[in-house]
Structure 1
């Protein structure tokens, strides 16, 4: 089983939301978890780009990674 690290602030917001029942943190928690999920997806694409068995799969993963990073097509090699 893999572990996932989250920022300390997000952890505290999760505690307040679940243990103290403060709904004020719901939007911040949603945003923080979405950012973490995006970072995990980008990491997986980068790993696939570096370890894919064929050149075609590497190039496809590289392009998808650059798209998710927001690198404009004119700036790519």
Structure 2
């Protein structure tokens, strides 16, 4: 299991894990940027940090499979 992880990590950093690495970065940014904005805004309005992180993590974590459903591996 550890060898599979290391092999995937090496392929990822060489740019050979996904067919379209730019799509991976774009989809990741589509999920990350709104989540970051939501965390900052909700903490600024006074909600507890633990509650904000829990809620935003659940919502945007649930969004990730939908964002990455069309990724193709090499």
Greater relative contact order: 1 or 2 (C-alpha under 8 angstroms, separation 6 or more)? 2
Q: Normalized against structure 2, the TM-score is what? A: 0.37
